[in-house]
Structure 1
Amino acid sequence: MDLRENSLEKSKIIANELKTSLEEKNIFHLRDIIYDTNEVTLANIFEEYFEIKDILFMFKVIKKEKTAEIFAYLPQNMKQQVINGLQDHEIKVMLDYMFTDDISEFLEELPANIVKRVLNSASNQRRSEINMILNFKENSAGSVMSTDYVELDPEITADEALKMIKDKERLAETISYCYITNNQHILLGFVSMKSILLASANTLISDIMETDVISVECDEDQEEVAKIFTKYDLLVLPVVNDQHRLIGIITIDDVYDIIQDEVTEDLQKMGGITPIEGSYINMSIIEMVKSRITWLLILMISATVSGLILSKNSDLTLKIPSLVIFIPMLMDTAGNAGSQSSAMVVRGIAVDNLNIGDFKYVIKTEFLNSLILGAILFAVNILRILVFMPKISMSIAILISATIYIIVTIANLIGGILPLLASTLKQDPASMSGPILTTVCDAISLTIYFSLASLFLGGGLYGI
């Protein structure tokens, strides 16, 4: 039995035990099972095996801290059902035990009337914190941060700091690092829990804090946040406003979500799909159609260019029918070469911070690559035609191979340039790596192919 099957079997056993406890009204055993089970596992079990009325009952008889932990991992539709089934005072208590980034995340996708009810149920401080996060631009650092952190004065002692941390432990998302601010909340530095524990009781925090603190402004894009985490190998990152006042933190678990979202968005754009949130399983057919149809229509219309090129050269293909055989291969080769180049440059932009200043380097690199790749493909294609298509003349074989050499070179250059231009124009480079690039390369490959064919086989430019 593999790990997944073992996990499913374990979940089924826990679900059966919970159902038995519910049927027997054995609240004590029910609580023991829930307290001994990971909240992620419980959220999956609740989604798979229980109706909302049973979930609401279990939430009412367990500790509110555990309720908040499980609620954070429930799917969005189930969260909405839970909110609808809770009283206002129950919502308030649950919100007090939840981290603000988790609250803002699920509120963003709720109907306005339910959001209003949740905010009205929250305490004044909680409501203010949630509203601040919700008012930040979507996908900015401020929109994914948490306001649940430990803030310390530089003039207190290590012993006093420990007491403050103990008081705030339940409300803080992490206590691994505490942030040092002045009375205006200006970020001065940070101190690790390890440093506080190892310091003598009377040591001032100012004597053990680190002042070289990495921070991010609240309006920074979340993709840049992920890059900072990766570059500096961080577990937590403080968020400041334009006056360098500490307003929140971003933890590594949020960055995992950011990276997943960014990768999903890039893959969708590279596949010619309008970015859409939500999982494949939970997405409706209408949502899927809407996310795909726009680019399909654009690409269908843009493919008209390729059709016109073929139409204008129909006399040449009638004169030399064997030319038609190689059109799909040439178009595929051009598209694949461009996509490979584009994928490398998109990664370079994301990982190595490539920008328009590296234009000459990218052009040089892709040109040298294309010379080598083109030479290899030229030789292999000649051999392929001689072995598998002996009836094709050597002149046509050389024509096809020469076309491959040229289109690979051009496609590589285009694939390298387009993402750089997109990045410079503040557009997502990934959007230039999919069907758009392929369509451009198709048109160029056909133009080059028929131009060469007309020159060398048709006795001058023919039908172009």
Structure 2
Amino acid sequence: MKKEQVEELLEKREFKELKELLETMHPVDIVEILEDIEQRQMILIFRLLAKEEAAEVFTDMNSDMREYLINALTDSELEEVMDEMYLDDSVDVLEEMPANVVDRLLSVTDEETRQKINALLQYPEDSAGSIMNVEYISLRKEMTVEDAILKIRQVGINRETIYTCYVTEKKKLIGAVDVKDLLTAGESRLIEEIMDENVLCARTLDDQEEVASKIRKYGLVAIPIIDHENCLVGIVTVDDAMLVMQEETTEDISMMAGVSPNEDSYFGTSVFQHAKNRSLWLMLLMLSATVSGEILAHYEKAMAAMPVLITFIPMLMGTSGNSGSQSSTMVIRGLAVGEIQFKDFFRVVFKEIRVALIVGVLLAIVNGVRVYLMYDQDLTLAIAIGITMIAIVCMAKCVGCTLPLLAKKIGLDPALMAAPLISTIMDTCTILMYFAIITALYRM
């Protein structure tokens, strides 16, 4: 509805009314409208926004929109946007921009801000230091509650969050205090008396996914980040943690589907890039699947003697791949949310084996009866299919649950051990097991 209003006001050139309408809208909603209009109109709308709102809108834009705006805006306009943005958001923007655009953005920032940005850019890409915000409220333990509240009033407007303040001594983190505690405590009380000395924190080089998980686990608004000397250097807020979890989930889903991770959106990625991201995985899986073809060729005489054997191969391969994918998906999810650890290896395997036995026996009975009735009441064939079904389901469940755990242990992403890879491995194992059981039973 508001999109139509914005387009109508633009067409009528009623900019005063448009400005008033934009003031009532959320920055995210404004970005959605800007994505669907002409670039010339996008610049016009952006220039109508208040400074604070313009900075938030700029933060929520995709990289292509940002780059176009940066090239279109004057230095003074860019300076206003950069001044209003929080440092961690500025760093995120700079990391996505080409070198020439980065140089221009840094040129319109003051020396102090530029030094802080450069310091953040030096941290490893997926570390807590790379996403932290250096704008937090620091208190001293000898301050009174009245002094602390006064400081919050003076500097709070430039801080991303004021709900938790951190107590430092010679830059070292010694405690934390919530604004709620400050507002409910006597004004003459010392910060030392009400601060919490047991503070959850993370280090600058910790993996950002682990930091995000810690924020989620303990329900934190922000978590302090300390360096190797235990000095407080920044905080990671819950909104940054949510972005990290979204990025990691997107990456895991891509890898589980056999697609190389890509930071751009679906429509923002070119057809060539999509093909490039997918072709490598498909090539590897295709080449590994040739092993199954070689095994089938080895049993060519057996299939020639009993052509009916071929009809069961797709069903058995599909069942084994699906069984393994079920287990790997559950374990990958458990690892992602911290529910499963490598120390639970044998517990997980034991549980999956029990599940596999129940599922395998059920499938074996159904298929055994079906084969017996449909294929001239061949009891040996029905038993062979039933035993194969139990064996491949048990093997698939074990492979599906162990590979993600082993990947996690050696430092790989567990999502690598997902459906495409599990299915390819189980195809080979299924064919080997199927013909081994068939051969053994028919020789008896």
Alignment counterpart, residue 74 of structure 2, candidates 82, 87, 92? 87
Equivalent residue, structure 2, for 1:406: 391
Equivalent residue, structure 2, for 1:4: none
Alignment of 1:185-204 (within 5 A): 185-204=171-190
Alignment counterpart, residue 308 of structure 1, candidates 288, 294, 300? 294
SS in 2 for 1:303: helix
Equivalent residue, structure 2, for 1:293: 279
5+ residue gaps, structure 1, are 1-8
Deviations 1:264-291 (A, max 9, x none): 1111111111111111121110110111
Equivalent residue, structure 2, for 1:278: 264
Q: CA deviation at 1:390?
A: 4.4
What's the C-alpha RMSD, in Å, of the aligned pairs?
A: 1.7
Equivalent residue, structure 1, for 2:337: 351
Q: CA deviation at 1:427?
A: 0.3
SS in 2 for 1:49: coil
Q: Is the 8 A contact 1:178 1:192 kept in 2?
A: yes
Alignment counterpart, residue 446 of structure 1, candidates 400, 408, 431? 431
Deviations 1:227-272 (A, max 9, x none): 2122211121111111111111111111221111111111111111
2:353 maps to a residue whose letter is F
SS in 2 for 1:108: helix
1:282 maps to a residue whose letter is G
CA distance in 1, matches of 2:279, 2:398: 29
Q: Is the 8 A contact 1:355 1:424 kept in 2?
A: no
CA distance in 2, matches of 1:246, 1:397: 68
Question: Which sits farther off after the overlay, 357-366 or 54-63?
Answer: 54-63
Q: 1:30 to 1:347 in 2, by over 3 A?
A: closer
Equivalent residue, structure 1, for 2:142: 155
Equivalent residue, structure 2, for 1:170: 157
Question: Which sits farther off after the overlay, 114-123 or 83-92?
Answer: 83-92
Alignment counterpart, residue 228 of structure 2, candidates 226, 242, 266? 242
Q: 1:356 to 1:72 in 2, by over 3 A?
A: closer
Does residue 366 of the first structure (1) align with residue 352 of the second (2)?
yes
Q: CA deviation at 1:352?
A: 3.8
Does residue 71 of the first structure (1) align with residue 63 of the second (2)?
no
| Number of corresponding residues | 444
- Scaled by the length of structure 2, the TM-score of the pair is 0.95
SS in 2 for 1:326: helix
Does residue 145 of the first structure (1) align with residue 109 of the second (2)?
no
Alignment of 1:2-81 (within 5 A): 9-20=1-12, 23-24=13-14, 26-27=15-16, 29-52=17-40, 54-81=41-68
Deviations 1:18-60 (A, max 9, x none): 543xx24x44x343222222111112222222434x4434444
Q: CA deviation at 1:391?
A: 3.3
Q: Is the 8 A contact 2:349 2:401 kept in 1?
A: yes
Does residue 325 of the first structure (1) align with residue 311 of the second (2)?
yes
Q: 1:59 to 1:375 in 2, by over 3 A?
A: closer
Alignment of 1:385-464 (within 5 A): 385-386=371-372, 389-391=374-376, 393-457=378-442, 459=443
CA distance in 2, matches of 1:345, 1:102: 34
1:397 maps to a residue whose letter is A
CA distance in 1, matches of 2:154, 2:6: 34
1:111 maps to a residue whose letter is P
CA distance in 1, matches of 2:7, 2:183: 41
Deviations 1:345-374 (A, max 9, x none): 222322345343322222222222222121
5+ residue gaps, structure 2, are none
CA distance in 1, matches of 2:163, 2:174: 17
Q: CA deviation at 1:61?
A: 4.8
Deviations 1:303-358 (A, max 9, x none): 11100000000110010011000000100111111111112222232234534332
Equivalent residue, structure 2, for 1:254: 240
SS in 2 for 1:238: strand
Q: Is the 8 A contact 2:323 2:396 kept in 1?
A: yes
SS in 2 for 1:248: strand
Equivalent residue, structure 2, for 1:99: 86
SS in 1 for 2:223: strand
CA distance in 2, matches of 1:212, 1:113: 45
Deviations 1:393-443 (A, max 9, x none): 221111111101011111111111111110111001110112111111110
Equivalent residue, structure 2, for 1:6: none
CA distance in 1, matches of 2:175, 2:238: 19
1:168 maps to a residue whose letter is V
- Scaled by the length of structure 1, the TM-score of the pair is 0.91
SS in 2 for 1:237: strand
Q: CA deviation at 1:170?
A: 2.2
Q: Is the 8 A contact 1:18 1:33 kept in 2?
A: no
Question: Once the two structures are aligned, what percentage of the paired residues are identical?
Answer: 37
CA distance in 1, matches of 2:124, 2:277: 22
SS in 1 for 2:234: strand
